């Protein structure tokens, strides 16, 4: 049985907390949270084309390598998830190996990652739903229309997360299943249409494949998985969390990896070299195989729904990490309490959700294209995920060694994970990208420095808080949930 530490917020005179719901999330619902955070449909729509430019027929190999790296990270996370159940996600796990400072760094980095991906994906949802409305004949375009969609979609995402984890997970599951089903139907029909030409042996021979391009493509492939471990923030709300959460993390990563490899193969087999030049590969395939006119809006709706699902899922994680931080006194205590009826960290969500909306509205108002918001803000969030993943891998090595657990595979997975995360980070800053991507690493660093300043303030003024960072697990959470 895991030993838990009582957080400072649990003292006798603390305000009553309703708590999070206990044991309400099934295995499929946990997988839905993980898959929705990945948003595979949105990744399929663009990433294979981006990788193909450099990797050519090695695009599938890039995805295979990316999947292996993510499974290595997932294994390190699963080692913790089998022993510890918490709403704190990697923040709590890293504490077991690297102590309060490492946990704090991981928690802040993961918050940046989750919030950044949510805010960036809101731009993608706006773009695709705007296009969907135009395709079905609704004359709703221009900056005002985009801002309106950002407010409506962001408001709905926030509402779903506040109303309950099961509601938000089911919304995400339905939207992502619909989206993936639409894309799979298109890809399977495309292979049927191609007949004997659907077999493309060049993608398996690897002859003439530029391996430098494959390595660069692996970076994009890894970015297509960020957020895959988000089910680990549902330790209290999951049924049988010590088994269900590790399974959800590993199987969702493997399943999405297979989906990426299949989609990459199909896009190359059907479009060939045109994959590097078409604006929208899925729409190009639809047109090439002669899909009916009504399929265009359906496909657009599916990708928009995928983007919306990935607005909802990361907000759930943000809410729960800050909820645990509120319990421990790292942030204001009021964030460590949940809604009396919905049993969700509503105070956090009422800040994080509107903040994402405001960022998108400001960028849209100054003329930024919604899909540029996806690229810029998601990049900012991705830096956070890279740091958090590297820290949890290092923490896993330290933790298993201290606990005298067999850790030969942990060493291998942690080495793969850390080397890959460092490479991904380096590949995103060198060669120096064009404006504004060249300043985003500095924005990330500024955020981390500001967070470190708060940590130093706590260490000086409230050392008892530092001692409890990352120690709040499921059984230490007060409440009736």
State pLDDT tens for residues 255-278: 999 999 999 999 999 999 999 899
CA atoms within a 13 Å half-sphere pointing along the CA-CB vector of 361: 16
- Nearest in space to 329 (alpha carbons), one of 13, 36, 106, 10: 10
- From the centroid of its chain, how far is CA 38? 5
Look up the pTM and report it: 0.89
User: C-alpha dihedral over 404, 407, 408, 410, to 10 degrees?
Assistant: -160
Query: Average of pLDDT values for 224-232?
Result: 84
What pLDDT shows up at residue 210? 87
Mean pLDDT score across all residues of the chain: 88
pLDDT band at 184 (very low <50, low <70, confident <90, very high): very high
Q: Is 39 helix (H, G, I), strand (E, B) or coil?
A: coil
pLDDT band at 481 (very low <50, low <70, confident <90, very high): very low
What pLDDT shows up at residue 469? 87
Tell me: pLDDT of 11 over 70: no
What pLDDT shows up at residue 354? 98
- Nearest in space to 356 (alpha carbons), one of 149, 48, 96, 150: 150
Place of tokens 């800050």: 322
- Nearest in space to 119 (alpha carbons), one of 174, 157, 64, 84: 157
Query: Average of pLDDT values for 324-350?
Result: 90
- Nearest in space to 56 (alpha carbons), one of 189, 195, 188, 205: 205
- 423-466 pLDDT per residue, tens: 988 888 888 888 998 999 999 999 999 999 999 999 999 999 99
Query: Average of pLDDT values for 371-399?
Result: 94
Residues whose CB is less than 8 angstroms from the CB of residue 304 and which lie 6 or more positions away in sequence, other chains included: 124, 125, 127, 128, 129, 131, 132
Query: Average of pLDDT values for 341-352?
Result: 92
Query: Average of pLDDT values for 157-185?
Result: 86
Cis peptide before 436 (omega within 30 of 0): yes
- Nearest in space to 311 (alpha carbons), one of 154, 180, 145, 162: 154
Residues whose CB is less than 8 angstroms from the CB of residue 353 and which lie 6 or more positions away in sequence, other chains included: 154, 155, 157, 158, 161, 315
CB atoms within 10 A of CB 451: 16
**pLDDT above 90 covers what percent of the chain?**
60
What pLDDT shows up at residue 8? 44
**Cβ distance 170 to 235 under 8 Å?**
no
Cis peptide before 426 (omega within 30 of 0): no
CA distances from 427 to 193, 420, 435 (A): 38, 10, 16
Residues whose CB is less than 8 angstroms from the CB of residue 58 and which lie 6 or more positions away in sequence, other chains included: 206, 209, 210, 211, 213, 214, 217
pLDDT band at 397 (very low <50, low <70, confident <90, very high): very high
CA distances from 228 to 65, 87, 218, 273, 397 (A): 16, 16, 16, 31, 21
pLDDT band at 1 (very low <50, low <70, confident <90, very high): very low
């Amino acid at each position: 049985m895991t030993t838990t530490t009582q957080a400072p917020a649990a003292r006798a005179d603390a305000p009553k907390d309703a708590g999070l719901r206990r044991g309400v999330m099934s295995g499929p619902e946990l997988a839905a949270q993980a898959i929705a955070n990945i948003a595979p449909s949105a990744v399929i729509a663009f990433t294979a084309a981006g990788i193909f430019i450099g990797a050519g027929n090695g695009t599938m190999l890039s995805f295979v390598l990316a999947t292996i790296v993510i499974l290595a990270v997932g294994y390190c996370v699963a080692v913790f998830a089998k022993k510890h159940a918490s709403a704190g996600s990697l923040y709590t796990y890293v504490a077991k190996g690297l102590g309060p400072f490492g946990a704090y760094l991981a928690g802040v980095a993961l918050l940046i990652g989750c919030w950044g991906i949510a805010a960036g994906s809101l731009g993608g949802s706006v773009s695709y739903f705007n296009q969907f409305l135009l395709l079905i004949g609704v004359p709703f375009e221009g900056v005002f229309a985009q801002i309106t969609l950002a407010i409506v979609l962001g408001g709905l995402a926030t509402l779903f997360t506040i109303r309950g984890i099961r509601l938000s997970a089911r919304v995400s599951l339905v939207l992502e299943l619909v989206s993936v089903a639409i894309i799979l139907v298109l890809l399977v029909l495309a292979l049927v249409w191609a007949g004997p030409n659907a077999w493309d042996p060049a993608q398996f021979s690897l002859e003439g494949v530029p391996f430098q391009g494959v390595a660069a493509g692996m970076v994009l492939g890894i970015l297509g998985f960020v957020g895959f471990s988000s089910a680990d923030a549902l330790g209290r709300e999951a049924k049988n969390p010590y088994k269900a959460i590790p399974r959800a993390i590993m199987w969702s990563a493997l399943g999405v990896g297979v989906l990426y490899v299949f989609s990459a193969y199909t896009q190359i087999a059907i479009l060939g070299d045109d994959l590097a030049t078409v604006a929208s590969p899925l729409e190009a395939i639809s047109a090439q195989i002669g899909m009916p006119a009504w399929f265009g809006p359906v496909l657009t709706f599916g990708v928009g729904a995928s983007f919306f699902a990935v607005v909802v899922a990361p907000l759930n994680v943000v809410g729960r990490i800050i909820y645990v931080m509120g319990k421990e006194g790292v942030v204001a205590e009021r964030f460590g309490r949940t809604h009396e009826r919905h049993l969700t960290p509503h105070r956090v969500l009422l800040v994080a959700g509107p903040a994402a909306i405001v960022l998108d509205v400001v960028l849209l108002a100054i003329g930024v294209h919604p899909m540029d918001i996806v690229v810029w803000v998601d990049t900012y969030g991705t830096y956070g995920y890279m740091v958090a993943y590297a820290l949890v891998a290092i923490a896993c090595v330290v933790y298993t060694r201290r606990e005298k657990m067999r850790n030969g595979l942990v060493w291998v997975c942690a080495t793969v994970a850390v080397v890959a995360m460092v490479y991904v980070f380096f590949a995103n800053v060198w060669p120096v990208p064009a404006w504004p991507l060249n300043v985003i690493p500095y924005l990330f660093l500024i955020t981390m420095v500001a967070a470190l300043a708060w940590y130093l303030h706590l260490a000086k003024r409230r050392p008892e808080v530092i001692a409890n960072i990352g120690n709040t697990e499921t059984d230490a959470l007060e409440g009736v949930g």
